[in-house]
């Protein structure tokens, strides 16, 4: 599965991080929830400035499925 990454959307005031990968890597991911929907946030730390991008918003159940696929290497 190929995920589409968009520039971080700052229009949501409250984002809850539900799960995350280790920040010790050059690229780490966070499963986030905001406004009744969920998305995955990707942070590239090796860029000149941290590059933060996010996926499309899904219902929470679908987002957990995509999160599991990402962790298993079935999505990127």
What pLDDT was estimated at residue 64?
96
pLDDT tens track for 19-72: 999 999 999 999 999 988 999 999 999 867 889 999 999 999 999 999 999 999
What pLDDT was estimated at residue 76?
79
The model's pTM: 0.89
Measured torsion, CA atoms of residues 50, 68, 4, 9, in degrees rounded to the nearest 10: -50
What pLDDT was estimated at residue 1?
87
What pLDDT was estimated at residue 10?
66
Residue 16 has pLDDT above 70, yes or no: yes
């Amino acid at each position: 599965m190929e995920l589409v990454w968009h520039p971080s959307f700052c229009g949501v005031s409250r984002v809850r991080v539900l799960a995350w990968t280790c920040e010790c890597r050059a690229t780490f991911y966070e499963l986030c929830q905001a406004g009744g929907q969920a998305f995955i946030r990707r942070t590239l730390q090796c860029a000149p400035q941290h590059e933060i991008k996010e996926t499309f918003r899904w219902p929470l159940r679908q987002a957990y499925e995509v999160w599991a696929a990402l962790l298993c290497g079935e999505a990127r």
